[in-house]
Amino acid sequence: MAIENLDDTDRALVALLQQDAGQAYAALGRAVGLSTAAAHERVRKLRERGVLRRTTVEVDPKALGLGVLAFVMVDSSAWMGDSAGAFAAIPEIEEAHVIAGAASVLVKVRTPTTEQLQDVLRRLYAIEGVNGTQATVVLESFFERPPSPAL
């Protein structure tokens, strides 16, 4: 879904839902100058078009005891593009991306401890084709943000 296909009202609705996905359609409609029914219909169409993939809440990982954040570059001896299921099977991996460059895959991992991060690295090595990893542990995050509909 190209962002160019969104009008100003769609962009405003997306921005409002990113702030609070649980807002009532009446409140969304008031904020963008639509009736409740029209706001509901717009949001439904945004879902159908794939602009809105899911409704969720943002949870502080530290509140769940997940204080270690690492980005891991995965080296391989073969194309890893068909290995999505193997990466998804490791629950500590929040994101996995096939990348260009020296490594084949970049994963985002959260664990409670560095010992558990080490266990994740061991499990990554067990994936067929993986022959190395390089982990970067995050000491502090300045910010994380969702994609902006205004861009």
Q: Tens digit of pLDDT for each residue in 99-149?
A: 998 899 999 999 999 999 999 999 999 999 999 999 999 999 999 887 777
> Using an 8 Å Cβ cutoff, are 84 and 129 in contact?
no
What CATH number matches the domain at 3-48, 3.40.50.300, 3.30.450.40, 1.10.10.10, 2.40.30.10?
Answer: 1.10.10.10
Closest C-alpha among 55, 37, 41, 56 to residue 10 = 41
For residue 151, the model assigns a pLDDT of 60
For residue 4, the model assigns a pLDDT of 58
Beta strand 105-111 with 93-98 is: antiparallel
Helix (H) or strand (E) holding 26: helix 25-32
For residue 149, the model assigns a pLDDT of 77
Domains of the chain by residue range: 3-48, 61-137
For residue 1, the model assigns a pLDDT of 44
Helix (H) or strand (E) holding 16: helix 8-19
CATH level 2 (architecture), domain 61-137: 2-Layer Sandwich (3.30)
How many Å is the Cα radius of gyration of the chain?
20
Asked if the domains at 3-48 and 61-137 fall in one CATH topology, the answer is no
For residue 5, the model assigns a pLDDT of 82
Q: Tens digit of pLDDT for each residue in 39-96?
A: 999 999 999 999 999 888 888 999 999 999 999 999 998 888 889 999 999 999 999 9
Q: Where are the beta strands (DSSP E) in the chain?
A: 68-76, 93-98, 105-111, 130-137
* Single pTM value for the model: 0.80
Cβ-based neighbour number of residue 101 at 10 Å? 7
